[in-house]
Amino acid sequence: MCETLINSGAYVTCIDNFASGQKANIQSLMDNERFRFIEHNISTPLPIDTPLDYVFHMASRASPFEFEHYPIQILKANTMGVLVALGIAKKHHARFVYTSTSEVYGNPDIVPTPETYHGNVNPIGPRGCYDEAKRCGEAYVIAFRRQHHLNTRIARIFNTYGPRIRTDGIYGRVIPRFIDQALTGKTLTVFGDGSQTRSFTYVTDQIEGLLRLAALDAAEGQVINIGNVNEITVLELAKKVIALTGSHSSLSFHPLPEDDPLRRRPDVTRAKKILGWQPKASLDTGLARTIEWIRSVS
Ligand code: UDP
């Protein structure tokens, strides 16, 4: 996101505490005179005096493996952190974009899931810290819009992947984990019978969706799903990764984590109509680029 904005001529202030982001991803921007970096945990107040036109809240650990280890940080990033970021936007009369998640739908009864669906979420389950925090974050954003007339936009992001995604340890989401396992000859760890589905969005498509959401006047006050409609089972994904990497790895099956949503596919009618957005990269293309990148850094 920072790189895309800098390349388009914008001035960018990036705030990160590297809870899940990595310094290497912004290293090439550090010497750019239009890029400023502040190492800070957004859950605590931060005075920013230089003028801002847009504020994006994209902070939060998002890997299910981390929900068990950092539930309080995750809750804070999406509640207190959203409050701090909203305060910064209010001070500068800036537009506010919140990156929420498909997780606000929980295990949905309606698939493809439209933004009007209110969710089927377990607040005290292992995903509650993330799902409920994001739901609370959305409520904060709408409260600032109602009470302070802040110009706001909410993106509900569906599983996003691509180069620079973390592969290591508990940070790893299913795509980098499967690629890493396939490239190192380990078994690919399929949870459950692998019949659960996800709809994966390539990183550059996601960025384009977020920038359209931020820039277009018609998106003011909107909540919009940003995700690819191509739904795939986890088992099919594992087989695809083995084929694309040319790996000799086999599959191993493990218990399905509690509250793991069975299906996830967005209804993108709003994104198409209001943002004129639809994803360009196919899963095969996106996976090939991600595999190439993971190979290059391993
Ligand atoms: N998954 C899997 N094996 C893994 C990691 C994940 O089968 O080693 C499954 C997981 O159970 C879920 C899907 O892949 O159904 C996507 O998992 P991810 O952690 O990427 O994020 P989620 O979409 O669950 O938030």
With 90 as the cut, is the pLDDT of residue 171 above it?
A: no
Band (298; pLDDT cuts 50, 70, 90) = confident
Which pLDDT belongs to residue 169? 67
pLDDT at 5 over 80: yes
Q: Do residues 290 and 163 lie in contact, with contact meaning Cβ atoms separated by under 8 Å?
A: yes
How far, in Å, CA of 56 to CA of 291, rounded?
29
- Which of 198, 233, 262 is the best mutation target for the ligand 1 pocket, counting ligand atoms within 8 Å of the beta carbon and taking the most? 198
Question: Cα(first)–Cα(last) distance of the chain, in Å?
Answer: 23
Confirm whether 176 is domain-assigned: no
| Per-residue confidence (pLDDT) for residue 168, from 0 to 100 | 79
Please write the tens of the pLDDT for every residue from 55-103.
999 999 999 999 999 999 999 999 999 999 999 999 999 999 999 999 9
* Residue 171 in domain: no
CB of 41 closer than 6 A to ligand 1? no
Distance CA 215, CA 218 (A): 9
3-state class (DSSP) for residue 257: coil
Of the candidates 230, 71, 58, the one whose C-alpha atom is nearest the C-alpha of residue 154 is: 58
Query: pLDDT tier at 194 (50, 70, 90 boundaries)?
Result: very high
Expressed in angstroms and rounded, the spacing between residue 219 Cα and the centre of ligand 1 is: 31
**Does the annotation mark 70 as catalytic?**
no
In the predicted model, is pLDDT for residue 170 greater than 90?
no
Q: For residue 52, give the amino acid letter.
A: L
**Alpha-carbon span 193 to 213, nearest angstrom:** 37
Q: Is residue 216 assigned to a domain?
A: yes
Answer yes or no: are the C-beta atoms of 3 and 29 closer than 8 Å.
yes
pLDDT for 61: 94
CB distance 177 to ligand 1 below 6 Å = yes
Q: Which of 70, 130, 140, 202 is catalytic?
A: 130
Q: Where are the beta strands (DSSP E) in the chain?
A: 12-16, 35-39, 54-57, 95-101, 152-157, 160-161, 188-191, 197-199, 201-202, 223-226, 231-233, 251-254
Q: Is residue 237 part of a domain?
A: no
Q: Which domain range does residue 55 map to?
A: 2-164+201-229+265-281
Ligand 1 pocket check for 275: Cβ under 6 Å: no
Which whole-number Å values give the CA distances from 219 to 70, 183, 225, 273, in the listed order?
Answer: 33, 42, 12, 10
What residue owns the CA closest to ligand 1's atom 6? 174
Residue listed under structure tokens 């820039």: 215
| 235 occurs within a structural domain | no
CATH of the domain at 88: 3.40.50.720
Pocket flag, ligand 1, residue 219 (CB < 6 Å):
no
Q: Residue 2: pLDDT above 70?
A: yes
The mean pLDDT value for 244-268 works out to 97
Question: What is the per-residue pLDDT for 206?
Answer: 98
Peptide bond into 47 cis (omega under 30): no
Work out the average pLDDT over 1-14.
97
**Structure-token pair, residue 129:** 């810290």
Number of domains making up the chain: 1
152 alpha carbon to ligand 1 midpoint, in Å? 31
190 has pLDDT over 80: yes
In this structure, is residue 56 part of a structural domain?
A: yes
d(C-alpha 275, C-alpha 266), whole Å: 15
Q: What is the pLDDT of residue 167?
A: 86
Share the mean pLDDT of the chain. Answer: 96
Q: Of 230, 171, 166, nearest to 197 (Cα)?
A: 230
Q: Which residues of 69-102 are buried (b: 16+ CB within 10 A; e: fewer)?
A: ebbebbbbbbbbbbbbbbbbbeebebbbbbbbbb
Q: Give a yes or no: residue 296 inside a domain.
A: no
Provide the percentage of residues in the chain whose pLDDT is more than 90: 96
Q: Is residue 297 part of a domain?
A: no
What's the rounded mean pLDDT across residues 130-144? Answer: 98
